[in-house]
Chain A
Amino acid sequence: MSTEPLLQISALRAGLADREILKGLSLSVNAGEIHAIMGPNGSGKSTLAKVLAGHPGYPVESGSVTFNGADLLSMEPDERARAGVFMAFQYPHEIPGVSILNFLRTALNAKLGKDMPLMEFRKFLFEKMEMLGMDKSFATRFVNDGFSGGEKKRNEILQMAILQPTLAILDETDSGLDIDALKIVSHGVNTIKSQGKPPPAIIIITHYNRILDYITPDVVHVLHNGSIIYTGGSDLAVKLEEKGYDWVIESAAQTANSQLTKSTHANP
């Protein structure tokens, strides 16, 4: 078993063309781990997801990201997907004219590098749809076309189930969902994790942390002003729910100050 992290982000500086959002972010994720990334609005959570997926609107200024030992940042979005990275979009796009069955089969064939026979694929798709409580009729509907918010998010998890990534990034999958939809989506993610060979690593980006009631993270990070300021276990999520973000931001600032003081004393 490799001791190298599956995903290693080092001092990442990235953002929009005119504005830096991630300011030296570092993060390590090992295979099969579930990491939660939380933080106030504007902290850079969604930007992190988009940069990892390779969105062209978010250029990288400096820093590095390795995935399975390879340089992720030099790969096109489709290369990253075929290498095993999957992002569940916060606002999934509608693609009228393309059916879900057709779309997922094309995507899976691109990943496998060969064509899976239609009957085999249909069976596979219907299995996953059943797991997510989706009616079979959805297979012939156009991707996200006319879907409710909950249906769109569930469709993202269906894609995850079909493409079987090694690293899944869930970008605020819980926002806009009611409790029932959230339970279904979480159940889907947990099932995918438990059935995975190997089980995927998952980065859950969430603002409200309700999803963490249903998907238990191994590690919780707090993102603030473009970098991770605090890392803890799953109990951190509970503390944040009780106390909000302010205490952790202050606490992190104090730690940084005391370290600075220490270092100036040590190296005058």
Chain B
Amino acid sequence: MSISAVSTEGSFSGSPTAGAVGACGEALVSFESVRGLLQGAVGGAFFGPLRKRAWECAKSDLLPLPSEELWRQTPSDLFEFGSLGEPCQTTLSLCQFEGGASKPGSASTELPKGVTFYSDENAASFAQMLEESLWKQSAPYRDHVRDDGFSDVFAWLQIATSTTVSVIHVARGANASKPVLLSTLVSGVGNCASTILLVILEEGSSISVVEDLDDESARLFMPRFEFIVGRNASLNFISLQRLGNKARYCARHRVHQYKDSRSYFLHVALGAGVSRLDFDCRMLEAGGSAVLHSAYLADGTRHIDLHPNQIHLAPHCTSNLYSKGVIKDKARTVYYGYIRVAEGAQKTDAYQTNRNLLLSSDARADSVPNLEIKANDVKCSHGSTIGQISADELFYLMSRGLPRADAEQLLVEAFFEDLLAKLKQPELHDYIGAAILKRLHKASSATRIKSLVIKPGLELNTEGSLHG
């Protein structure tokens, strides 16, 4: 049973305009509404009314002005929201991760035991799963998956332009040791591609998900991912964004962590002409820990923006954010991170570090870490650096016989390597490393580049394929 794109009766005329942000009624992406939305999948009478309402809200609500702090460095007009038309058909698919040999779109019967992927095809069993397991066990979740800050014009736009909602469900106690690959498949003529994904880890379960967003089209991509990590569950999520130069990417990811849960994220931003990720990590019960890593590489005239928020609502949780970026040519990046510790979230350990390496005089990096701490017995810190390749380090390498260009390449690869070395799975290390390398050398005049650090001996043809 497939769900065709539901047109909201030609109401994609008009567009959101800039102005002061206003509220637009109750939160659309509360658990209740998502449940309703998901249940509505049965019979295909899906989404339409919800999307229509979202579109009305989006039109009446206003895009942020450049003078607003959170949008000052990445003006919303970069995304061209004003020219949104009919969305294209966008679906997600999940399969086993096999490096370059993965087969997105293949049957999800190959998924690890205990992992189920719900979307259009199995909408009926989806609703059933919802009623039988998730809803009953989700009582502690319901109050928390509420919008505090994610309920704004972008949320409406994401819903209005989504043509599907998907769920990755990991059963209680299931431990999926091999990673799975999440792919986005876009078809049709529309100029925006939005997706809504819920990832639900039941108590004691674990999963590793790799998202590879690799699309050359000039569309606006607006994914909205919500991760619910149940008690004692463990989530690894690696997102590789390598869209084409004319694409725009405006993503929102949120993870809600329950008692003693663990999460590990690696967001890698390599593509799109303008890219923005708002990422909330919310500690809802004691004992949670989160490792939030990100790597970005901005070349040409790319603009990459990262807005992570570590939100501690419960005591005894740890969150550690480590974000590194390389900026070259005339590109620009923005890091704007927040650690918010609520009153009562005692014994919080929260750290954020952002390191930027500029490779040209026109490159620019902004780094703004923030702390908002309302508890009095916590350990929080933040650090950020913006610098160039150290002349001393370069000299050290050259004095051992490396030509200048090789020494520079080695130092840039090394800059990312310490993030990659922290990836638990070696097959992912090489896969992500090769993606970074390709982007690093895209503008190079050489046609073949050899990796000096990330995977020594790995040879890349700068046009496309991998060798070695």
Q: Which residue of B lies closest to A97 (CB)?
A: B414
Tell me whether A98 and B414 are in contact (CB under 8 A).
yes
Q: Which residue of B lies closest to A118 (CB)?
A: B457
| Distance to closest chain A CB from B415 (angstroms) | 6
The interface residues of chain B lying within 8 Å CB-to-CB of A81 are: 398-401
The reply to whether the CB of B110 lies closer than 8 angstroms to some CB of chain A is no
Knowing A56-B391, A95-B414, A106-B456 touch, does A87 contact B406 (C-beta < 8 A)? no
- Residues of A participating in the B interface, judged by any CB pair closer than 8 Å: 53-57, 76-78, 80-82, 86-87, 89, 92-93, 95-98, 102-103, 105-108, 110-111, 118, 142, 159, 163
Q: Which residue of A lies closest to B390 (CB)?
A: A93
Q: Which of B352-404 contact A (CB under 8 A)?
A: 390-393, 395-404
The reply to whether the CB of B182 lies closer than 8 angstroms to some CB of chain A is no
Q: Which residue of A lies closest to B324 (CB)?
A: A97
Tell me whether B400 and A159 are in contact (CB under 8 A).
yes
Q: Which of B3-19 contact A (CB under 8 A)?
A: none
The interface residues of chain A lying within 8 Å CB-to-CB of B416 are: 97
The interface residues of chain A lying within 8 Å CB-to-CB of B452 are: 102, 106
The reply to whether the CB of B413 lies closer than 8 angstroms to some CB of chain A is yes
The reply to whether the CB of B417 lies closer than 8 angstroms to some CB of chain A is yes
Question: Which are the 9 A-B pairs with shortest beta-carbon distances?
Answer: A97-B414, A97-B417, A81-B401, A107-B400, A77-B398, A110-B401, A78-B398, A93-B396, A98-B414
The reply to whether the CB of B453 lies closer than 8 angstroms to some CB of chain A is yes
The interface residues of chain B lying within 8 Å CB-to-CB of A80 are: 399
The reply to whether the CB of B343 lies closer than 8 angstroms to some CB of chain A is no
Tell me whether A78 and B456 are in contact (CB under 8 A).
no
Tell me whether B399 and A92 are in contact (CB under 8 A).
no
Tell me whether A96 and B391 are in contact (CB under 8 A).
no
Q: Which residue of A lies closest to B419 (CB)?
A: A97
The interface residues of chain A lying within 8 Å CB-to-CB of B390 are: 93
The reply to whether the CB of B147 lies closer than 8 angstroms to some CB of chain A is no
A98-B396 Cα distance, complex, nearest whole Å: 13
Tell me whether A78 and B417 are in contact (CB under 8 A).
no
Tell me whether B401 and A82 are in contact (CB under 8 A).
yes
Tell me whether B393 and A78 are in contact (CB under 8 A).
no
Q: Which of B230-261 contact A (CB under 8 A)?
A: none
| Distance to closest chain B CB from A163 (angstroms) | 7
| Distance to closest chain A CB from B59 (angstroms) | 48
| Distance to closest chain A CB from B188 (angstroms) | 43
Knowing A81-B400, A98-B453 touch, does A106 contact B406 (C-beta < 8 A)? yes
A77-B396 Cα distance, complex, nearest whole Å: 9
The interface residues of chain A lying within 8 Å CB-to-CB of B402 are: 78, 106-107, 110
A89-B418 Cα distance, complex, nearest whole Å: 24
Tell me whether B396 and A95 are in contact (CB under 8 A).
yes
Besides A53-B395, A77-B395, A95-B411, 15 more A-B contacts (Cβ < 8 Å) are: A55-B395, A78-B401, A80-B399, A92-B396, A93-B393, A95-B393, A95-B396, A95-B414, A97-B414, A103-B400, A106-B452, A107-B401, A110-B400, A110-B402, A118-B457
The interface residues of chain B lying within 8 Å CB-to-CB of A93 are: 390, 392-393, 396
| Distance to closest chain A CB from B356 (angstroms) | 15
Knowing A97-B413, A106-B402, A163-B401 touch, does A89 contact B456 (C-beta < 8 A)? no
The reply to whether the CB of B176 lies closer than 8 angstroms to some CB of chain A is no
The interface residues of chain B lying within 8 Å CB-to-CB of A86 are: 399-400
The reply to whether the CB of B62 lies closer than 8 angstroms to some CB of chain A is no
Knowing A56-B391, A78-B404 touch, does A102 contact B399 (C-beta < 8 A)? no
Knowing A93-B393, A98-B410 touch, does A110 contact B456 (C-beta < 8 A)? no
Q: Which of B33-53 contact A (CB under 8 A)?
A: none
The interface residues of chain B lying within 8 Å CB-to-CB of A55 are: 395
Q: Which residue of B lies closest to A106 (CB)?
A: B452
Tell me whether A78 and B403 are in contact (CB under 8 A).
yes
The reply to whether the CB of B407 lies closer than 8 angstroms to some CB of chain A is yes
